[in-house]
């Protein structure tokens, strides 16, 4: 995503990019990362029926399984590091136009596994809450939790803006406004607030 933004606008034109990871670089150019993340996530989740995968053993448990993800999200790319072992599963994976549709495909046994960011997955489950029985399903995660930050330019102005951002995040957290915004968002919960803010 960063690559597509910077192809349209040269480095130096923008003050910050809103969704990067710590210590990210672009063609040798590094960025200033503030102390606090704008978004914390447990990451990419795998949902399946308990009788489909009896004992989860990481990505190898997806061997022979029918996978569904959502079109244009890029969530399926999380399996790229396993493509030697899961090449046919990845090639044959189905892409649904919506998260609710992807979840329904697993609920009706048309697919075995739904892969998505946990936030979108929770939204899909909420939308299907009357038909979705928690006890029938299991959710596992690929990889580790991630934090996303605004990435600022490596300039004096970039340092100043990163400091302003950190102070603003502290104030928003302490005032309770950050909680209100995250709770009001359709695909966010208080779990998406950077845990580092709670350590103040």
Q: What is the 3-state secondary structure (H, E, C) of the chain?
A: CHHHHHHHCCCCCCCEEEEECCCCEECCEECECCCCCCEEECCEEEEEECCCCCCCECEHHHCCCCEEEECCCCHHHHHHHHCCCCHHHHHCCEEECCHHHHHHHHHCCCCCEEEEEHHHHHHHHHHCCCCCCHHHEEEEEECCCEEEEEEECCCHHHHHHHHHHHHHHHHHHHHCHHHHHHHHCCCCCHHHCCHHHHHC
Domains of the chain: 2-40+149-199 (no CATH), 43-142 (3.40.190.10)
In this predicted structure, what is the pLDDT of residue 184?
86
In this predicted structure, what is the pLDDT of residue 111?
98
In this predicted structure, what is the pLDDT of residue 24?
75
Q: What is the mean pLDDT of each run of 10 residues along the chain (200 residues)?
A: 47 68 77 92 93 94 97 90 92 95 97 94 90 95 89 91 96 95 84 88
In this predicted structure, what is the pLDDT of residue 2?
43
In this predicted structure, what is the pLDDT of residue 13?
55
pTM: predicted TM-score of the whole model, two decimal places: 0.75
């Amino acid at each position: 995503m960063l690559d597509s933004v910077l192809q349209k606008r040269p480095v130096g034109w923008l003050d910050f990019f809103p969704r990067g990871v710590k210590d990210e670089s672009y063609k040798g150019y590094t960025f200033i990362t503030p102390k606090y993340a704008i978004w914390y996530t447990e990451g990419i989740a795998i949902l399946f029926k308990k009788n489909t995968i009896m004992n989860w053993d990481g990505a190898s448990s997806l061997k022979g399984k029918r996978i569904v993800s959502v079109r244009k999200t890029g969530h399926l790319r999380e399996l790229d590091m396993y493509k030697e072992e899961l090449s046919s599963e990845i090639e044959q994976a189905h892409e649904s136009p919506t998260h609710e549709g992807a979840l329904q495909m697993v609920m009706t046994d048309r697919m075995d596994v739904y892969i998505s960011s946990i936030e979108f997955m929770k939204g899909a489950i909420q939308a299907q809450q009357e038909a979705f029985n928690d006890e029938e399903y299991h959710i596992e995660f690929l990889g580790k939790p991630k934090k996303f930050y605004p990435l600022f330019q490596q300039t004096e102005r970039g340092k100043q803006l990163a400091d302003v951002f950190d102070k603003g995040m502290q104030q928003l957290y302490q005032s309770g406004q950050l909680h209100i915004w995250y709770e009001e968002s359709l695909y966010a919960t208080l779990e998406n607030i950077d845990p580092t803010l709670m350590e103040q």
